[in-house]
Amino acid sequence: MQHTFGVYFYILIAAVVLIWLFKRLNLPPILAYLAVGILAGKDGFFWLEQSEQIHFIAELGIVFLLFSLGLEFSIPRLLAMRHIVFGVGVMQVVLTTLIAMLLLLLAGISMVAAFSIGSLVALSSTAIVVKQVSGSPLLRSRQGQLAIGVLLFQDIAVVPLLIALPLLAGGLEQSLGLTILTALAKGGIVVALLMAVGKWVLPKIFSEIAQTRSDELFVLTTLLVALIAAALTSAFGLSMALGAFLAGMMLGESEYRHQLEADIRPFRDILMGLFFITIGMQLDMTFVLANSQWVAFGLVGLLTLKVIVTYCVTKVMGESHENALATALMLCQMGEFSFVLISLALKFSLLNSANASLLLSIGVLSMAITPYLVDNGGMLARKMLSALAPNHLKNNQATIDSSDSRFEGLSQHVVICGYGRVGQIIARFLKTEAIPFVAIDSDTIRVKEAQAAGENIYFGQAKQKEVLRGANIANSRLVIITISDKDSALAIVDSIKKLAPEVKILIRMRDDRHLAELKAQGVTEVVPEKLEASLMLVSHVLFLTGVPVRRILRRVQAERRNRYGLLHGYFPGDSTPLSPDSSDHLEFLHAIAITEDAFAKGQSLGELNLSKRRVDVTGLRRNGKEISFPNLDTVLLAQDILIVRGKPRRVERAERFLLEGR
């Protein structure tokens, strides 16, 4: 027992340290978990041995992950994706398996071994891809939808593969087709059963649970539902993850969806971490170093084969070049079920130990680079397409009507960079005032739809000078950047300033963290969404409490001129982000009590010179009364409450100075 506690203690320490280090290096936590697995495995400190219990617990992470994914889906949405699941998914698995088999047969591998390797190579990692896209815009993007659809079919395809491999080892004494049809029939029964339970039983159960107002009971019921669904599909010979996905999908249409997702997330993330640790434990570093050339060759071959096949299949189904290539990059790794099939093939002597070790090494390394490929798939796809076919983007743009001649005669017009929801709302108001505008957007579908409706929009990356020239930016009166990402916005601003130094630039940001930096780069106005929303709310509050409209407008305009000075700073709470990145930008309000023995007692604010410590005094409470914006001659007394505003570290140093004098 003591030894077991020590093992988990070491693993926990390693996980905390490595995740912190990887986050500081802007690397995904999945890589940290894989590194912990290597440390815990036989090539590291051998803290943990591979066991069925460990793998079962780790598999629960996939179960909860797929349950969470199911909450994001609905029956109509899944039906709308059927051509992806049973079109792109089928073609991707079948073609990858056949091509891999052909290459292996040419290399002298036996038919049975070639089929085993080809089938497991065709699978991709549901756990990693879904983990990366969950909670990000990628989940709603076209390439995200394509990737999820293909992964769903791959999870279904695991079932006949798990049946086929033992039969291949037994010399096909049973009818393979009949066995697979039987398995699919069982699958149909269990899916229908889960859908019926999810539609008519689960909503009533959760309604009853919700009325008890017990958080613990709600969490336990959520866990129980996910596990029962997983156990049911497992009993019918299907994937546990598939059952959890179906249960989540049924509950995704209920009003409890968001609460269920919040309840399941802590268990999901912890168990997913354990899953990736077990994957890392399977990497034999001694074998990798001894056979590095074969591992590298196999890794490049795997990535190349899957990217080409998935790209071609997705393109044949009518997707754009960029979406097809981005999807292919997201799915080019081996999957967690590939490791299950490797173990099964090894158990039934379909593979020898050397081939199994090689496949495990290639699989783990391909999974290690997957987070980067998922997060940057779109950008990499654009670069690869522009490098392989320099005229591709121009041709694609031409199909969307990117003729610059339409805008040559325009002057004193507005250029909108980014035609999402915000850009389109701005355009509607400009139309009502008969103000001409040109919009630029990089989403081909959106551009086609808007052009079909007669909008002045064309395709392109707004940071590229040629694209801005096409909008005749030199003769425009105003440029509006609706992209809220700071780095992208700065790149656009830089290009604008080189082409039209005097043009006014209005930029939208989520908050005021980068206001000073953007102003320094020449941006005319920065509109922070959160602060503007606060001003609008304040305007309604003042109006409903009887304050005259003119006074409200003067106050709002004064705040804007003062760069939202009164709105800066707030009292932090438990949910306030305190990461190293955010603490460099946020300003907090903090109340400092002046004690009897405080250094600041008896000194004036001018003598203390807190502005030198880069904090502002926003208020003073004395004897229960508030003194707003006290002047420099105000002398601090014992029991005064001084309210200061500044960045967290500066506020902390200022408090120490006021109390201790240093």
Q: pLDDT (tens digit, 9 = 90+) per residue, 450-466?
A: 877 778 888 778 888 87
pLDDT at 580: 45
pLDDT at 153: 85
**Average pLDDT of span 331-349:** 81
**Average pLDDT of span 276-289:** 78
Q: Give 620's strand partners.
A: 627, 642
DSSP 634: P
**Which range has the top average pLDDT, 205-214, 351-360, 501-510?**
501-510
159's tokens: 């079932």
Using CA atoms, how far residue 397 sits from 306, 391, 447, in Å, is: 28, 10, 10
**Average pLDDT of span 552-573:** 64
Tens of pLDDT, residue by residue over 7-20, are 678 888 888 999 88
Residues whose CB is less than 8 angstroms from the CB of residue 560 and which lie 6 or more positions away in sequence, other chains included: 535
Helix (H, G, I), strand (E, B), or coil: what is residue 599?
A: coil
**Average pLDDT of span 314-325:** 87
**Average pLDDT of span 518-526:** 86
- Rounded to whole angstroms, the Cα distance separating 226 from 220 reads 10
Residue 444 has pLDDT above 90, yes or no: no
Cβ 613 vs Cβ 644: under 8 Å: no
- Rounded to whole angstroms, the Cα distance separating 433 from 361 reads 63
Q: Considering Cα of 283, then 289, then 295, then 296, what sign does the dihedral take?
A: positive
Using CA atoms, how far residue 151 sits from 148, 245, 378, in Å, is: 5, 12, 18
Residue 584 has pLDDT above 60, yes or no: no
Place of tokens 């290539």: 325
Residue 560 pLDDT level (bands cut at 50, 70, 90): low
Residue 188 has pLDDT above 70, yes or no: yes
Higher pLDDT, 371 or 400: 371
**Which range has the top average pLDDT, 130-144, 174-188, 291-305?**
291-305
Helix or strand holding residue 655 (H, E): helix 648-660
Residues whose CB is less than 8 angstroms from the CB of residue 439 and which lie 6 or more positions away in sequence, other chains included: 415, 416, 419, 423, 427, 450, 455, 456, 457, 458
Residue 401 pLDDT level (bands cut at 50, 70, 90): very low
Helix or strand holding residue 591 (H, E): strand 588-593
**Average pLDDT of span 335-350:** 78
pLDDT at 579: 47
Cα within 13 Å of Cα(260), Cβ side: 32
Average pLDDT score, the chain: 79
- Express as a percent the part of the chain with pLDDT over 70: 82
- Rounded to whole angstroms, the Cα distance separating 327 from 375 reads 11
**Average pLDDT of span 364-373:** 86
**Which range has the top average pLDDT, 137-141, 226-230, 415-419, 514-518?**
415-419
Higher pLDDT, 563 or 424: 424
Higher pLDDT, 5 or 195: 195
**Which range has the top average pLDDT, 299-313, 389-403, 631-645?**
299-313
87-91, 351-355, 545-549, 569-573: least confident range: 569-573
Cα within 13 Å of Cα(21), Cβ side: 11
| Gyration radius from the chain CA atoms | 30
pLDDT at 566: 52
Residue 400 has pLDDT above 50, yes or no: no
pLDDT at 176: 54
Nearest partner of 88 among 160, 161, 148, judged by Cα: 148
Higher pLDDT, 451 or 435: 435
- Rounded to whole angstroms, the Cα distance separating 609 from 106 reads 81
Helix (H, G, I), strand (E, B), or coil: what is residue 26?
A: coil
179's tokens: 């066995």
Residue 268 has pLDDT above 80, yes or no: no
pLDDT at 403: 40
Tens of pLDDT, residue by residue over 38-59, are 888 777 777 766 556 666 777 7
pLDDT at 44: 74
pLDDT at 506: 92
- Rounded to whole angstroms, the Cα distance separating 179 from 187 reads 12
Place of tokens 């349950």: 67
Helix or strand holding residue 186 (H, E): helix 176-200
Using CA atoms, how far residue 481 sits from 20, 60, 379, 478, 585, in Å, is: 34, 44, 20, 10, 21
pLDDT at 404: 45
Residue 177 has pLDDT above 70, yes or no: no
Residue 586 has pLDDT above 80, yes or no: no
Q: How many residues are present in the chain?
A: 662
Cβ 18 vs Cβ 38: under 8 Å: no
Task: Report the predicted TM-score, pTM, of the whole model to 2 decimal places.
Answer: 0.55
Residue 60 has pLDDT above 90, yes or no: no
- Rounded to whole angstroms, the Cα distance separating 506 from 488 reads 14
